[in-house]
């Protein structure tokens, strides 16, 4: 039978010998008090009892623990549990672990109580933790099997005052739940499965009170899925997404139905909108294409590209690098630039009945209609056109603003202008800008005609 006792008093200088590469801010903040350790064990390899376990750093924390372990040397039948009870006082020296000199932005509250239990039974491990900070509670239950890689975890946070930990931030009460379970950790393995459920009951941030957010996520046969809902004054929406994790390219889709975004509540809009800021959004990425579309009232946006997302980004980088080099050499080669272009295009159309128009109305800005078409291909180059009609800003009214761009193998043509017709209540004029950017030179022509011609 084995019986052992351990008693030690370790001063700051000795503790620092084990601090190694820890930040100097932690070493400087560590208190000049002896760390007292008392431990005792009795038993044998069949049964080992930890009769008493105590660690005390005066003014900082006190830890008490105990437990027993059976069949210590047998990995199949080994089992046992250890309990810990920690009561804190001043632990602010731990903020020095961040490497930043303590300035009050991060605080470890005093008078916290932490109770924990660690258990094992063969290849099964489990842990429970309960933290109490004034009126706030945090509960964690976790299990893991080292043989099957099966796991489960449940986290429950109730009325935790985050402001006590981050006093210079504006986050206050937090209540939330997270539950996760699964088997395996390689997301690209078809045998790996996982399920996560999370809900935000309350989050006070500044003058906002956020609640009613729920998320469900899963992984099965390398297909990851997410469903999210939000129902509060800041955001009311539903969203679904899925993605294949065994692909070398981005392969997935997302669909969102936003019923309202509280722009006034968020401080973005100076006054409430007359209609909800609502829209639907869909996006899809496959091995040969990227698609995105958004509808919001009479606003319609579409984007298409004939490539993977990574290839599109790489082509954009190549084009930007080539253009930069040619500009530095002060000589453009439009034929070479066209060859580096990705095949992509976008279109945006909007009238008066859409969330953007409603938002602009709060700033006394309006327009009759807007259209944008822009596309790039190696065969046709860069081509685009945009126009806005009936733009009004306070007392200013512009009937038409337009701009067009096109490219061939030798030049890029530009044309733009502002036109106020005869019925404009302020002034009538036509101002146009035309130009060409060729390989070795460029020209621009400005033309202005008023009501008198």
Nearest C-alpha neighbor of 230 from the set 197, 258, 195, 272 = 258
pLDDT of residue 312: 94
**Residue closest to 66 by CA, chosen among 54, 85, 52:** 52
Rounded to whole angstroms, what are the CA distances from 383 to 234, 303, 412? 39, 15, 9
Sole residue written with tokens 């995105």: 292
Residue 260's SS3 state is strand
CA–CA distance, 371 with 351 (Å, rounded to integer)? 9
Give 98-111 pLDDT, tens digit per residue: 887 777 888 899 99
- pLDDT at position 96 is 86
Predicted TM-score of the model (pTM): 0.84
Buried/exposed code over 184-214 (b: 16+ C-beta within 10 A; e: otherwise):
beeeeeeebebebebbbbbbbeeeeebbbbe
pLDDT recorded at residue 453: 63
Q: How far apart are CA 153 and CA 176, in angstroms?
A: 14
Nearest-CA neighbor of 61 among 87, 29, 32?
Answer: 87
Question: What pLDDT is stored for residue 301 in this prediction?
Answer: 98
The CA distance from 131 to 113, in Å, is 6
Question: How many other CB atoms are there within 10 angstroms of residue 288's CB atom?
Answer: 10
CA distance 440 to 429: 34
- pLDDT (0 to 100) of residue 425: 87
- CA 319 from chain centre, in angstroms, equals 29
Beta-carbon count within 10 A of 362 CB: 16
Find, among 197, 193, 192, the residue nearest to 180 by Cα: 197
Q: Please state the domain extents for the chain.
A: 1-122
Q: What is the pLDDT, as a whole number, of residue 1?
A: 67
| 99 vs 85: CA distance, rounded Å | 28
Which residues of the chain are under the pLDDT cut of 50? none
Residues 332-388: tens digit of each pLDDT: 999 999 999 999 999 999 999 999 999 999 999 999 999 999 999 999 999 999 999
């Amino acid at each position: 039978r084995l019986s052992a006792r351990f008693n030690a008093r370790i001063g700051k200088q000795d503790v620092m010998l084990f601090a190694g590469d820890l930040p100097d801010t932690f070493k400087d903040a560590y208190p000049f008090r002896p760390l007292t350790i008392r431990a005792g064990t009795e038993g044998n390899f069949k049964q080992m009892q930890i009769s008493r376990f105590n660690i005390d750093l005066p003014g900082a924390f006190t830890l008490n623990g105990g437990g027993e372990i059976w069949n210590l040397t047998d990995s199949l039948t080994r089992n046992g549990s250890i309990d810990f009870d920690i009561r804190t006082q001043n632990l602010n020296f731990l903020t020095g672990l961040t490497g930043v000199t303590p300035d009050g932005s991060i605080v470890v509250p005093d008078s916290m109580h932490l109770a924990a239990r660690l258990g094992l039974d063969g290849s099964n491990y489990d842990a429970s933790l309960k933290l109490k900070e004034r009126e706030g509670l945090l509960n964690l239950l976790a299990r893991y099997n080292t043989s099957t890689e099966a796991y489960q975890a449940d986290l429950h946070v109730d009325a935790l005052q985050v402001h006590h930990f981050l006093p210079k931030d504006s986050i206050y009460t937090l209540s939330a739940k997270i539950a996760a379970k699964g088997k395996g950790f390689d997301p690209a393995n078809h045998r790996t499965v996982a399920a996560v459920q999370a809900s935000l009951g309350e989050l006070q941030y500044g003058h906002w009170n956020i609640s009613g957010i729920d998320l469900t996520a899963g992984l099965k046969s390398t297909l990851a899925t997410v469903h999210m809902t939000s129902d509060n004054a800041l955001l009311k929406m539903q969203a679904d997404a899925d993605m294949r994790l065994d692909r070398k390219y981005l392969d997935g889709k997302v669909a969102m139905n936003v019923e309202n975004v509280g722009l006034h509540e968020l401080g973005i809009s100076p006054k409430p909108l007359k209609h909800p800021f609502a829209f639907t959004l869909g996006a899809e990425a496959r091995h040969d294409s990227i698609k995105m579309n958004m509808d919001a009232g009479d606003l319609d946006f579409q984007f298409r590209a004939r490539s993977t997302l990574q290839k599109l980004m790489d082509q954009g980088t190549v084009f930007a690098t080539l253009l930069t080099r040619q500009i530095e050499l002060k000589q453009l080669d439009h034929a070479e630039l066209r060859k580096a272009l990705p095949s992509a295009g976008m279109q945006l159309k909007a009238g008066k009945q859409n969330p953007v128009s409603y938002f602009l109305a709060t700033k006394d800005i309006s327009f009759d209609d807007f259209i944008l078409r822009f596309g790039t291909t190696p065969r046709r180059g860069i081509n685009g056109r945009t126009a806005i009609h009936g733009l009004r800003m306070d007392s200013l009214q512009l009937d038409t603003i337009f701009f067009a761009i096109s490219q061939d193998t030798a030049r890029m043509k530009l044309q733009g202008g502002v036109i106020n017709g005869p019925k404009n209540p302020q002034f009538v004029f036509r101002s146009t800008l035309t130009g060409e950017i060729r390989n070795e030179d460029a020209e621009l022509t400005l033309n202005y005609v008023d009501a008198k011609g």
